[in-house]
Amino acid sequence: MKVSEQVFLSLVEETGKLAFVDIEATGLRGDYNSVLVVSIKPFDTKPYSFHIKQAGNDQKVVREAKDALEQYHCWCTYYGKGFDIKMLNTRLLKWGSDPIESRPHIDLYFTLKYNLLTARKSQGHLLSFLETPEEKMSVSPNVWSEIVGNPTGPAMSTMIKRCESDVAGLEALYNKTKHLIKEIKS
């Protein structure tokens, strides 16, 4: 039996098996960089996060994130197919772990890129344009610099707040645009 994407979305929403996911990392490549924070927000509940204690040592964080993500039936990200999930899987490989088991994955970046004609494609721009209650939180360059040298200091609190803000914004964007989701692939 096949159900439509909209019916599937209703089911994962009702069962609490839809998760919004975002990561923050020291850079864009998993061989030279590492994960700082992973935030997960189950549909219609508060987000929770995993974060490093020591710069470069993200082994515990990526394994905890893998275990958490595998508890959900569907993920929603913003460019997560191009970055977040790949980065997690690259770091898992580094630490000798299996990749995250695949799930149906809504990448709102691609959904909205192909369905909207906007001047900018960033999550922050779309949140503003669609007048959602959530906004993209900016982080100063100083916080990014400080966090590597002192990952247990105040910069980490800022980074966690930003990552959790991103998943809250992602859910707001999803709620405004989910009617545009016509295909859900792993």
Per-domain boundaries in the chain: 5-180
DSSP conformational letter for 179: G
pLDDT in tens, 135-174: 899 999 999 999 988 988 999 999 999 999 999 999 999 9
SS3 at position 38: strand
- Cα dihedral angle (179, 180, 184, 186), rounded to 10 degrees? -120
CB of 169 closer than 8 Å to CB of 162 = no
The full DSSP string for 104-153 is -EEEHHHHHHHH---S---HHHHHHHTT-S--PPP--HHHHHHHHH-TTS
Is the entire prediction scored with pTM above 0.85?
A: yes
Q: Which of 19, 154, 136 is nearest to 84 (CA)?
A: 19
Per-residue pLDDT, 1: 61
pLDDT in tens, 19-63: 999 999 999 999 999 999 999 999 999 999 999 999 889 999 999
Specify the CATH number of the domain 5-180.
Answer: 3.30.420.10
Confidence of residue 2 (pLDDT cuts 50, 70, 90): confident
- Cα dihedral angle (166, 168, 169, 173), rounded to 10 degrees? 130
